[in-house]
Structure 1
Amino acid sequence: MAEKQFRNPDVVLDIHDRPHGLKWLGLSLQHLFTMFGATVLVPILVGINPGIALFSSGLGTLVYLFVTKGKIPAYLGSSFAFIAAMQMLMKQDGYPAIALGAVTTGLVYLIVSAIVKKAGSAWLDALLPPIVVGPVVMVIGLGLAANTANQAMYETLKNGEQLYNVKYIIVALITLAVTIIFNMYLKGFLGLIPILLGIVTGYIVALFFGIVETQPIIDAPWFALPDFQAPFITYQPKLYLTAILTMAPIAFVTMTEHIGHLMVLNKLTKRNFYEDPGLHKTLMGDGLAQIVAGLVGGPPVTSYGENIGVLAITRVHSVFVIGGAGVLAILLGFVGKLTAIIQSIPGPVIAGISFILFGVIASSGLKILIDNKVDFNIKRNLLIASVILVVGIGGLKFEIGAVAVSGMALAALFGIILNVVLPKQAKSEIEIENEQSI
């Protein structure tokens, strides 16, 4: 007789419970709207069509659910970790380089997945301890601070000149203020979407100040194909070494987020996803989703912390609801008016939101160090963190001919190398210990 399947008694809908009709539609829309703000913010910052980002996010989520056999309630959205790298690649070589970078990060995941299946995951923990991951995550947020401040202050004219604009600062600060208020005082479902509400409120304020171009929205059709950037169709594939060297190291950072999210999901759902379907399967699903996203024209996707927040508060853990959210994201990618509205969001509104989002990312890196009680009295830890922070935030670039490695990628590489080669203790620390023991 088959063993009875476990069901979590503390939830409204467990992983394999399927809602029906309008209830299914409503729950999936709720889940998608919670992911919406962050998912479309990434392509706006990079210059990628938001419609294709929605499409690739939904498709990536369905790929992940398929690979993990529908056992993990996870939604995949546009990854913030790659923003700085993608902005650099977009200016230098355009979308084809970003596409190659996204495919590269997916391949890194697949390689690590194969190694984890064969040798376990202990080596990954040794390669990426908190002293490396924490500062690198801080760099992801702080490295974008200067661009965000400029976006809040300067209007870019048609000739490319940047003009200081007081209206921009006012709109950015109002957007920042209302988003903070929404974060602090809203509860229930509204408490889950403060970023989306902040963008909507900031957009309305920007309309009042007359800094939104509405004509493209009027001209946009209701139905429009997303801006697919498929290889061999839209462009001729080419080897961009800069894209590979810049984005591949960042994949290890998003991997630690992936593993951390799984750890929280294990506790929330009362299951062990490391064992079933296995860490190698979850990494494989994430990697294949990134490859698919890159091939169709979207930014790399990864698991979202917002997803866990929705699961915790609604107590709806159904993979059918998450799959429905993925399908709805794909469908919304074909709504031309929606894409035009998203593209019309002015810079100061995005800046006001980004002050919080990028700050939260940086703070998350600090939290990793605090939670793991990293001791900065130890010279090894101090040196690793110092190098990562200054190289990453300073934007150090290693360039030979057409090949360039950005500050964030260098920061991650330097951190990994220093963690491997530096001894556990400096000789001076050993000497002090010996003197104290006499």
Structure 2
Amino acid sequence: STFDSWMAIVTVLCVGGVAVFTRGMLQRLLILVGLLIAYVIYAIVTNGMGLGKPIDFSIVANAAWFGMPKFTAPVFEPQAMTLLVPIAVILVAENLGHIKAVSAMTGYNLDRYVGRAFIGDGLATIVSGFAGGTGVTTYAENIGVMAVTKIYSTLVFVIAAVIALVLGFSPKFGAVIQTIPGPVLGGVSIVVFGLIAVTGARIWVVNKVDFSDNRNLIVAAVTLVLGAGDFSLKLGSFGLGGIGTATFGAIILYALLRRKPAQEAAV
């Protein structure tokens, strides 16, 4: 709705304001602080002034403080496995892209850790699958937060993982997360995924990608729009989201537009 769109813009302004006009710890926590400010504004406007869809706090009151997550034993279904296998290619490409992004942000060559990262992702996905969870990856949101906070310490991620595990046993905390309005989450997503796009462009600059070559220009232009626009494709019961179409689009386009050596030499 129009109201939701305006609230998303307000959220973007909150995060941007914290990023630019604060210093120290507040600035480093700009995503969290910006989200909290936007959350309070949304609550005042909806629950207090009666505009838009109000936040339902009853789910928080009714949730228990402690509870066990739901675990499910793995089930081997060939059809489901066939549909999910191509996603592995997307996750590999996404993981590699994130490593390159962190390399560009930190100024360190992390190529020697690529194999270790892939093994870590694979093992984590196996563990997740045996407990009924989904495949895991290095999330773009985390890379975006790293870009804006300038915090690259791996210890921070270990601590965050432990906190996330502990909070996973609290339905009360899960209920609080569920109360975050969609427009607020959407506004934060605009900032975070925008940071990822800019980091990608920075990688091109650092690696001196030749955009006078029309092949590079077309591949970059098409895949940017596919990914940012969340261009989806349905192939029977199998669906590809924006990251999937962008990944395969880049690979296929680059292969199709590849010139023969003789042509390249002539040029």
Aligned to 1:381: 216
Say if 2:8 and 2:186, in contact at 8 Å, map to a contact too: yes
| Equivalent in 241, 244, 268 of residue 85 of structure 2 | 244
**SS of aligned partner of 1:300:** coil
Aligned to 2:38: 202
1:219 aligns with 2:55: no
For 2:232 and 2:118, the matched residues in 1 are separated by 30
Q: How does 1:121-136 map to 2 (within 5 A)?
A: none
TM-score by length of 1: 0.49
Say if 2:15 and 2:34, in contact at 8 Å, map to a contact too: yes
For 2:211 and 2:157, the matched residues in 1 are separated by 41
TM-superposition CA deviations, 1:327-385 (whole Å, max 9, x none): 22211111221110101111111122122122222222222223323222212212322
Q: How does 1:305-320 map to 2 (within 5 A)?
A: 305=143, 306=145, 309=149, 311=151, 319=155
Aligned to 1:413: 248
Q: How does 1:11-410 map to 2 (within 5 A)?
A: 154=1, 165-166=2-3, 168-208=4-44, 209-210=46-47, 211-228=54-71, 230-232=72-74, 236-238=75-77, 239-240=79-80, 241-246=82-87, 248-261=89-102, 267=108, 279-296=114-131, 297=133, 300-302=136-138, 304-305=142-143, 306=145, 309=149, 311=151, 319=155, 322-389=157-224, 391-392=226-227, 393=229, 395=231, 397=233, 399=235, 401-410=236-245
**SS of aligned partner of 2:69:** coil
TM-superposition CA deviations, 1:55-105 (whole Å, max 9, x none): xxxxxxxxxxxxxxxxxxxxxxxxxxxxxxxxxxxxxxxxxxxxxxxxxxx
- Report the residue type matching 2:21 in the other structure: Y
**SS of aligned partner of 1:414:** helix
- How far apart are residue 223 of structure 1 and its match? 0.9
- How far apart are residue 284 of structure 1 and its match? 1.2
Gaps of 5+ in 1: 1-153, 155-164, 434-438
- Report the residue type matching 1:202 in the other structure: A
Say if 1:242 and 1:405, in contact at 8 Å, map to a contact too: no
Q: Which has the higher contact order (CA 8 A, sep 6+)?
A: 1
**SS of aligned partner of 2:24:** coil
TM-superposition CA deviations, 1:273-332 (whole Å, max 9, x none): 766xx54334312332233345442562327434585646xxxx584x654443222111
Say if 2:230 and 2:241, in contact at 8 Å, map to a contact too: no
For 1:266 and 1:381, the matched residues in 2 are separated by 24
Aligned to 1:93: none
Say if 2:66 and 2:169, in contact at 8 Å, map to a contact too: yes
**SS of aligned partner of 2:13:** helix
